[in-house]
Amino acid sequence: QDQLQQKIICPGPVTCLTASPNGLYVLAGVAESIYLWEVSNGNLLAILNRHYQDLTCLCFTDDSSHFLSGAKDCLALVWNLYNVLQAEPSQIPDPRHVWSRHSLPITDLCCGFGGPLARAATASLDQTAKLWEISSGDLLLSVLFDVGIMAVTLDVSEYHMFCGGMDGSIFQVDLCTWPVQRDRTFQTERENGKVFKGHRNQVTCLSVSTDDSLLLSGSHDETVRLWDIQSKQCLKTMNHKGPVTNAFIVLAPANMFNPDGKPSVPLPKFSRHLHGTESSDEPGTEGVMLRLGLHQQEPGQSYVEKAERMYSQMYSTREKNLVGDQEHLTIQVSELEEEVSNLRKINKDLFDFSTRIITKPAK
């Protein structure tokens, strides 16, 4: 018998919800705001208010370094999670990219593999699905359909993009066709072999299996269908008692069918206020949150260097001598002052040299 493990009251009706692949953070869309929680202690880390209308979809990159948000204001935003966590409480961090090429509300988002180098797909009621590059923010592909698009996903190899329409059709778009065209039109009558037909109402969600052989779709016609991608045949239909809003394929946990398998870490209640203390007053909600300050991050560091620095700080000795810390800080300050002095001297020499070149009389 299913049991409710935890009931979490959110600040308002949740329109979209997602968790980071590493399991550390949870994102929720409430009206036009994005709420970011830390799972280990339930603390509300950030409230992002950069959309002008209600949120419709959220998703993380596979390495949990970035997340995307889409809303009814026709905007899709790309956020750097590190910048969001390090922002001052009084300021709202800027998104890394603002994609404004859609003309009607965003309905769905999905990310491929590659972390910050991945590609992302967006779907909209403007009858288009677009493919973007997260690193540069460039638009790679825009496909125009005959109907509004409600759901979009990529297969694991990213050879195809699957788009669910308002009329119940599912379209398969080839991403490796030649010649390459950034703007394309999907003509259903000419590409009849690339359409999944069976749903009687709008398709709300799509998911591809890890071997790229099966496609799962949910619809407002109260059914979930499992398709064979190669033949476009429906293998199984699962009926529900209402419109299906979300469905996806996941790998089964090892202890899924073990009756003794229970979560080892209790999930604390999520805070409803950004600086509230309601979660810390309850027993059993203690947690450790590591947030590296901006002053601790040196410019030009690679991901490996940042990781090594983080691990060295985490596993350094806990019993530090206060006098030694003060001496170390004094040495750092003196080194920085000397570096600033050297930079000022270099800057003055460059200025004098450029002045002599510019004011040198012509022969």
- Classified as helix, coil or strand, 243 is coil
Number of folded domains in the chain?
A: 2
**pLDDT (tens digit, 9 = 90+) per residue, 40-91?**
888 999 999 999 999 999 999 999 999 999 999 999 999 999 999 998 877 8
| Residues 67-96 as b or e (16 or more Cβ within 10 Å = b) | bbbbbbbbbbbbbbbeebbebeeeeebebb
H or E stretch covering 328: helix 322-359
Q: Show the tokens assigned to 100.
A: 């404004």
CB < 8 Å & 24+ apart, contacts of 313-316 = 314/290
**pLDDT (tens digit, 9 = 90+) per residue, 287-331?**
444 444 444 444 555 555 655 565 555 545 444 444 455 667 778
CA-nearest of 20, 84, 31, 80 to 55 is 31
State the residue for tokens 């350094």.
316
The answer as to whether 276 is a domain residue is no
Residues 155 and 32 in one domain: yes
The answer as to whether 142 is a domain residue is yes
The predicted model scores a pTM of 0.73
The answer as to whether 280 is a domain residue is no
Asked whether 69 and 34 are in contact (CB, 8 A), the reply is yes
- Classified as helix, coil or strand, 129 is strand
Domain that holds residue 73: 14-251
pLDDT score for 83: 92
Which CATH number do you get for residue 90? 2.130.10.10
Asked whether 104 and 74 are in contact (CB, 8 A), the reply is yes
The answer as to whether 362 is a domain residue is no
Domain termination residue (choose one: 251, 280, 295): 251
The answer as to whether 7 is a domain residue is no
First to last CA, the chain: 95
CA-nearest of 238, 146, 246, 172 to 204 is 246
In 10 A of CB 44, how many CB atoms? Answer: 18
Residues 57 and 168 in one domain: yes
Residues 230 and 319 in one domain: no
Asked whether 155 and 181 are in contact (CB, 8 A), the reply is no
CA distance 3 to 151: 31
pLDDT score for 319: 41
Residues 24 and 167 in one domain: yes
Query: Looking at the chain, how many residues does it have?
Result: 363
Q: Which amino acid is at 93?
A: P
The answer as to whether 174 is a domain residue is yes
pLDDT score for 177: 79
Residues 228 and 323 in one domain: no
**pLDDT (tens digit, 9 = 90+) per residue, 108-127?**
999 999 999 999 999 999 99
The answer as to whether 281 is a domain residue is no
Residues 222 and 349 in one domain: no
Residues 223 and 319 in one domain: no
Residues 197 and 102 in one domain: yes
Q: Which amino acid is at 240?
A: H
How much is the mean pLDDT over the chain? 84
State the residue for tokens 């203390």.
277
Residues 323 and 236 in one domain: no
Residues 215 and 333 in one domain: no
Residues 342 and 207 in one domain: no
CA-nearest of 193, 240, 242, 233 to 215 is 233
Asked whether 159 and 113 are in contact (CB, 8 A), the reply is no
The answer as to whether 2 is a domain residue is no
> What burial class does residue 204 get, using C-beta atoms within 10 Å of its C-beta: 0-12 exposed, 13-18 middle, 19+ buried?
buried
